[in-house]
Structure 1
Amino acid sequence: MDDIEYVDMIEPSARSEIEARLSSLIREEGIRCLMAVESGSRAWGFPSPDSDYDVRFIYLRPPQDYVTLRPVRDVVERPIVDDYDVNGWDIRKTLGLLLKHNAVVAEWLDSPIRYIADDPYVAELAALADKHFNPAGYARHYASLGNNNVARWPASTETLQVKRYFYALRPALSIRSLRMFPERRPPMRLQDLMALTDLPPAIADEISDLVALKAQSRERAPARRSKRIEALILAELSKSEDIPEKPDSPSFLVEADNLFRRIVAAVPPAP
């Protein structure tokens, strides 16, 4: 099974366009961008030629925006234009979701595709996520994500959109990873999950064939249904409650608060 490096799959013209959009957004919003990554099929390891660019970022506003009687919105979004989907979360929102063991935050931190250089505080954010990682919290996230996608499968058809398989398969393999390695966050990319969870060769080859098919087809291209892959997905999703719970340390909120204050204090106030 070949392990493809997806960092290089962003064409230079697309990367330049994304960087330009981020620069304009930062200037218009008056924010400081801590990190900007790809989060979607291109970063998950199963892009199609017509896949959107799902650009996600974490940002910081001027200090006075955090001490106001009129709270500023904690997300920045732009309409999807020409397949570019660009939006981000405020650092306060990000840390709040991290306290709830939100797996999306962890995936952004681990994305193999970065559009700007990470701010030094991003490493501290990742360290906080690792230190207080609760495998059961992540398992609940992936079980909900996977089951919601399985519910969209047609009841009786010979084919299924390839992306529908992947949107359930990646969460299922994330749960498999959590079962096998409950001490670590599961990797973001499908190929890394496959390698880590030691899939039977026949299933691994079948999944790799689907990845290759999607790489040459449109986003909604169909594929012949696979009983083996569907059985794997359903079996792993059903085991989410087997993942051990790690109670939160009383220091988690204190450490997150301290990190938030240090990040905000590091930004000079607006004139």
Structure 2
Amino acid sequence: MKWRAGYVAPAVLLVAALLYAPFLWTGYLSFTRYDGLAPAQFAGLGNFAELVQDPALLTSIRNTLIWVAGTMILPVGLGLLVAVLSYDLKRGAWYRLPFMLPYALSGAGLGMVWSPILSHGGIANLLLGVDTAFLQEAPHNTLAMLLVWTWQQLGVNTLLFVVGLQSIPKEPIEAARLDGAGGWSLFRHVIWPLMAPLTAVVVGLALVASLKTFDIVWVMTQGGPGRSSETLAVTMYRDTFVASEYGYGSAVAVLLTVVTGLASYLYLKRQVT
């Protein structure tokens, strides 16, 4: 046992240094006034009291909830639809390939590609024959970025659902077909219940990812105009590294951590029960 502990100790120390120590340091800073230069001054719950009264927080929460709801409906819902419709098709993998390619782009790269397309006078305006500033008005800017996010995430969700479909035993499906089930009835009463474990994983991953949305929003709008498209992650970054209010930004980080952890816990608890 002593030798085993010695083997594991370096990995445990590395994880503690890279994950737990920054987390504890952030928690400490959330109770201080700190600008990165002068010594931190203990402020108690002052940062959290200020956070509750900050109107930008309500905007961030609203946009974050839009991201969560939109992710459940679009990338996850459409991914399931594409997976089901292409599963039994001959050469279905080739039909799914165009949906997979955008996933190779990072969120930052995605924003750089789509920002000029959706800008005022961009390609989207020319193709649609409109004169709309997609990224300059709320909540249209958040919805536009959500569609871009869907374009990227649709492929990986489709792939996960296809894996789930392939793992379903064929016997229940064949028995249901012999009983006359087909189409929507077959999917709703047989395929969907059998895919429940994988669906829980896909939805859980999408939930956490949407709550932490940052890179695509920062690259495309930087949370603007007037902080109208900020999410909680963008608010945390702006207050910490742009405004150099490390204590206040740490309070936002703690809030985001609590929201993400609570949402994950409630979701997993519901799946277990």
TM over 0.5: no
TM-score by length of 2: 0.25
Normalized per residue, which structure has more helix?
2
Report which of the two structures shows the higher radius of gyration computed on alpha carbons: 2
Higher RCO structure, 1 or 2 (CA under 8 Å, sep 6+): 2
Normalized per residue, which structure has more strand?
1
TM-score by length of 1: 0.25
